[in-house]
Structure 1
Amino acid sequence: MKYIRVTKENIEKEHICCAISSNKDIQVISKKNWLKERFDDGLVFLKSIERGKCFIEYIPAENAWNPIIAEGYMYIDCLWVAGSFKGNGYSTDLLNACIEDSKAKGKKGICILSAAKKKPFLADPKFLKYKGFTVCDEADNGIQLWYLPFSLDAAKPEFKECAKHPHIEQTGYVLYYTNQCPFNAKYVPMLLEVAKEREVPFQAIRLETKEEAQNAPTPVTTYALFYNGEYLTNEQMNDKRFIKLLDGMEK
């Protein structure tokens, strides 16, 4: 498999959004705009030359859109290999590319979000363990920060205090999200519409800056849904999934 690095110079012609094919899709537009604004912060987006979900996205941890303390580390936003690409070693290829690049840039190691058991849109803990990662911190909601240090004396990354105990004061449904995930551009408005039709209190808070994301009340900032102050899930939902959730909460 050959890989290509997406940059400011080639992003308009490159396919970057999972299985979404059209550059006119609001999800593609949203994601590409987000990436363009992150390249100057050191973000790297490496993908297969084939169309599909096979890519890694990483950034110096100081510029990550997550409430972590990981000075000198590289943070992996997303490592995604799916569908027909699975089982061919592409995850290892992409991870190794990140490791080599991070070492060349003098980083102390790399870190990434996961959980004790596989959660949607988070790294597979079995894969991370196999590759030598270990858990360095864990929030009350089970979201874990894993790291792979390049030296034995490297300090362990950790969550900021605001993210260790995910809880908010607002009642009703509150969604924190960013445009890092392309699906949000399509599905968040759907949830708002469902909530309006069902007369359910729902607030969508889009984190628009690095500083906002780094001080969010949740380890996962791409998508974090709360209900009456308590954390529910990081799984992106369409209208049908949200209706199912609402029906279950009403029972």
Structure 2
Amino acid sequence: MEYVNVTKDNIEEEHICCAISNNKDVQVSSKKAWLSERFDEGLVFLKSVERGKCFIEYIPAENAWIPIEADGYMYIDCLWVSGAFKGHGYSTDLLTACIEDSKEKGKKGLCILCASKKKPFLADPKFLKYKGFVVSDEADNGIQLWYMPFDKNAKAPVFKECAKHPHIDEQGYVLYYTNQCPFNAKYVPVLEQTAKENGIAFKAIHLESKEEAQNAPTPITNYALFHDGEYVTNEQMNDKKFLKLAGK
């Protein structure tokens, strides 16, 4: 498999989304704008030449849009291999490239969000364990922080206190989200309109800076839905899924 680094110079020509084929789609544009603003902060987006079917996205943990304390680590935003491309070693290719790059940059290790059982839009724990990652911290909602230290004496990364006990005081449905996930550009407005039409209490909180994301009340910041103060899911929803969840 041939791979290419997406940069400011080629991002407009490259396909970067795992599921959206139209490079002009508002969802893709939203994601590309978010990526473009992160490159100067050390973000790396390495993808296969096969459109967006295989890629890894990572950034120095100090600049990651999640509430962790992981100075000196590299944080993996996403490691994705889809469909027929699974089972050919491409995940290993991408992870190996990330490891080599991170070591060259003097990082202490890697970290990534996961859970004890596979959850949508999170890494596969079986794969991480096989590659040598271990759990360094876990929030009350079961979201875990996994890490691979390059030095056995390196301090393990942890969640910030604000994210260890995901809970908010607001009632109704409250969604925290960022532009990191392209699907939000389409489906957040869908939820807002669906909630309005059906009399469902709903509020969307758009995290627009790393400072906001790093102090969010949830380990997952690209999409975290709460109901009556309690965390519900990180899975993006269309109108039908949301109405079913709300009992409508």
Q: Which residue of 2 aligns with 1:174?
A: 174
Partners of 1:177 and 1:223 within 8 A in 2: yes
Instruction: Give the Cα–Cα distance (whole angstroms) in 2 for the partners of residues 53 and 168 of structure 1.
Output: 36
Q: 1:214-233: per-residue Cα shift (whole Å, max 9, x none)?
A: 00000000100000000000
Structure 2 counterpart of 1:18, one-letter code: C
Matches within 5 A, 1:56-205: 56-205=56-205
TM-score normalised over the length of structure 1: 0.98
Structure 2 counterpart of 1:198, one-letter code: N
Structure 2 counterpart of 1:60, one-letter code: P
Structure 1 gap segments, 5+ residues each? none
Q: Which residue of 1 aligns with 2:23?
A: 23
Q: Which residue of 2 aligns with 1:234?
A: 234
Where 2:11 maps in the other structure, the secondary structure is coil
Task: Please give the root-mean-square deviation of Cα atoms over the aligned residues, in Å.
Answer: 0.7
Q: 1:178-233: per-residue Cα shift (whole Å, max 9, x none)?
A: 00000000001001111001100100001000000000000000100000000000
Q: Which residue of 1 aligns with 2:49?
A: 49
The alpha-carbon deviation at position 238 of structure 1 amounts to 1.2
Instruction: Give the Cα–Cα distance (whole angstroms) in 1 for the partners of residues 93 and 172 of structure 2.
Output: 43
Identity of paired residues, percent?
Answer: 77
Where 2:155 maps in the other structure, the secondary structure is coil
Partners of 1:56 and 1:78 within 8 A in 2: yes
Structure 2 gap segments, 5+ residues each? none
Instruction: Give the Cα–Cα distance (whole angstroms) in 2 for the partners of residues 240 and 6 of structure 1.
Output: 35
Q: Which residue of 2 aligns with 1:206?
A: 206
Instruction: Give the Cα–Cα distance (whole angstroms) in 2 for the partners of residues 68 and 238 of structure 1.
Output: 29
TM-score normalised over the length of structure 2: 0.99
Structure 1 counterpart of 2:240, one-letter code: K
The alpha-carbon deviation at position 18 of structure 1 amounts to 1.3
Where 1:208 maps in the other structure, the secondary structure is coil
Where 1:13 maps in the other structure, the secondary structure is coil
Instruction: Give the Cα–Cα distance (whole angstroms) in 2 for the partners of residues 55 and 242 of structure 1.
Output: 29
What is the aligned residue count? 248
